[in-house]
């Protein structure tokens, strides 16, 4: 079992839909949780960053962390074709190595 599990998709939704992207993890020491967005032929870019449990909202994006279930989510409201990309979750512990553990990424397609 990989340390971080993420469904690769693709997830195809119509424009305007609410999108839910998820990751599960096994290491209870993870404290920092991130979502990166990667457009085709580009490098990943940091989208959302959350410390420990709870919700964080930024415009149409909401990141949610449930440490008791070892489950994190990214919600996209009013999805747009420009949101079509691969979304990677990543997480790190609060000490030790500075290297985040990445999920494999979920490919999202928002069609007009």
Partner 1 sequence: KAGVTQTPRYLIKTRGQQVTLSCSPISGHRSVSWYQQTPGQGLQFLFEYFSETQRNKGNFPGRFSGRQFSNSRSEMNVSTLELGDSALYLCATSGAALNTGELFFGEGSRLTVL
Residues that bind partner 1 (CB under 8 A): 32, 34, 36, 41-46, 49, 51, 88, 90-100, 102-105
When the beta carbons of 68 and 98 are compared against partner 1, the nearer one is: 98
User: Is the distance from CB of 88 to CB of 35 less than 8 angstroms?
Assistant: yes
CB closer to partner 1 out of 16 and 54: 54
Least distance in angstroms from the C-beta of 57 to partner 1: 18
CB of 104 to partner 1, least distance (A): 4
Residues shown for the chain: 112
Least Å distance, CB 23 to partner 1, is 12
Q: Which residues pair with 91 in a beta bridge?
A: 33, 101
In the complex with partner 1, the residue whose CB is nearer, 59 or 96, is 96
CB of 92 to partner 1, least distance (A): 4
CB 88 within 8 A of CB 101: no
- Is there a contact between 45 and 38 (Cβ–Cβ < 8 Å)? yes
Pairing of strands 30-38, 85-93: antiparallel
């Amino acid at each position: 079992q990989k340390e971080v599990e993420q469904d690769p998709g693709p997830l195809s939704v119509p424009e305007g839909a609410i999108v839910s992207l998820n990751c599960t993890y096994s290491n209870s020491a993870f404290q920092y949780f991130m979502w990166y967005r990667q457009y085709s032929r580009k490098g990943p870019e940091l989208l959302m960053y959350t410390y420990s449990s709870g919700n964080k909202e930024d415009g149409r994006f909401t990141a949610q962390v449930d440490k008791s279930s070892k489950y994190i989510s990214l919600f996209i409201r009013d999805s747009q074709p420009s949101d079509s990309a691969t979304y990677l979750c990543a997480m790190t512990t609060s000490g030790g190595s500075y290297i985040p553990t990445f999920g494999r990424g979920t490919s999202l397609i928002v069609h007009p």
